[in-house]
Every structure is written in C-alpha cells, then in structure tokens.
Amino acid sequence: MDNTFSNQLTSVLNRYTATNTEAELPRYKTGQVNNVAVSDRYIEDGSYLRIKNLAVGYRIPANILKRAKISNARVYVSIQNLATFTRYTGMDPEIGAYNNDIRLMNVDQGHYPNPRSFTAGINIEL
C-alpha cells in the first residue's frame, strides 16, 4: 500500500476510508512508507504441513514381460510439492530471506511459492 501502480492483495480493500472506519488496515496515502515498513502488524502464524515428495511405482510382473523378452520393467510417477496445508495468507509459508539479507529473514516480500513438478517414467531392462 505504498504505490498506486503496484499489484495489491485483495486484503487492501479492507483499509481505512471515510466510509470504512472499522477497517483492519490503515488508510492509503501516496508515498506513505509506513504501510510497508517491517512491523509486528504483519506477524501471523506461519505453521504449515507440506507433502513435499510423493513417489509411486509399479513393477510389472515377470510373466507379462516374458512375452516381450523384457527381464524387468517398472513404471513410476513422482510429484514434488504436492500440497501445502496452512492458514498463512502469503503465497508460501516457507519464505526464507529476501535477497539473502539476514535482516529480512522470514519477512515475506512476495516470494514465489515452491513449484509443483510432476515426473513420470519407465525403467526397462532387456
């Protein structure tokens, strides 16, 4: 809430105005740096439970593989960052440090969340 032309979270709609005096956030004022200063106003519970890695595989039975003259075959699927369970309002509760600055450790400056990736494959031995 310090720049009119920056993207904002929808939570800024609940800022103080003449018609919204019971707002959770202070009023917006162009150039006001107090709205983005590091403050305990932004502290929230960052607890989370994450399914980080999930891998499922299936070894094809030998009696099926004999017909194709294959000695061993296995198919698998792997998923990284499958799900995160949290009440944290930021994009990712695992935020780290902004630009590796120790003074900003665990300050969420809008880091992108950990990406979810899918891998599938098959291992074949002749």
Residues 19 and 50 in one domain: no
Q: Per-residue pLDDT for the chain (126 aa), expressed as one digit of tens each?
A: 666 677 777 878 888 888 988 888 888 777 777 777 777 877 888 899 999 999 999 999 988 888 888 999 999 999 999 999 999 888 888 876 666 777 777 777 767 788 999 999 999 998
**Do residues 98 and 117 share a domain?**
yes
Residue-level pLDDT at 60: 92
Query: Long-range contact list for 20-26, CB < 8 A, 24+ apart?
Result: 25/1, 26/1
> Are 93 and 119 part of one and the same domain?
yes
What is the token pair recorded at 53?
Answer: 């890695």
Task: State the amino acid at position 75 in one-letter form.
Answer: V
- Regarding whether 115 and 66 lie in a shared domain, the answer is yes
Query: Do residues 67 and 12 share a domain?
Result: no
Residues 92 and 119 in one domain: yes
Q: Which range of residues forms the domain containing residue 7?
A: 1-37
Counting the structural domains of the chain, the total is 2
* Same domain flag for 12 and 59: no
If asked whether residues 23 and 57 sit together in one domain, one would say no
Of 75, 116, 72, 64, residue with least CA distance to 92: 116
What's residue 2's pLDDT? Answer: 66
Q: Let me know whether 26 and 66 are in one domain.
A: no
The three-class DSSP label of residue 103 is: helix
Same domain, 31 and 91: no
Q: How far is CA 90 from CA 17, 77, 83, 94, 110, in A?
A: 24, 29, 15, 10, 7
Q: Across the chain, how many H-helices and E-strands are there?
A: 1, 3
CA 66 remoteness from chain centre: 45
Does one domain contain both 54 and 102? yes
How much is the pLDDT for 9?
76
In this structure, are 25 and 61 located in the same domain?
Answer: no
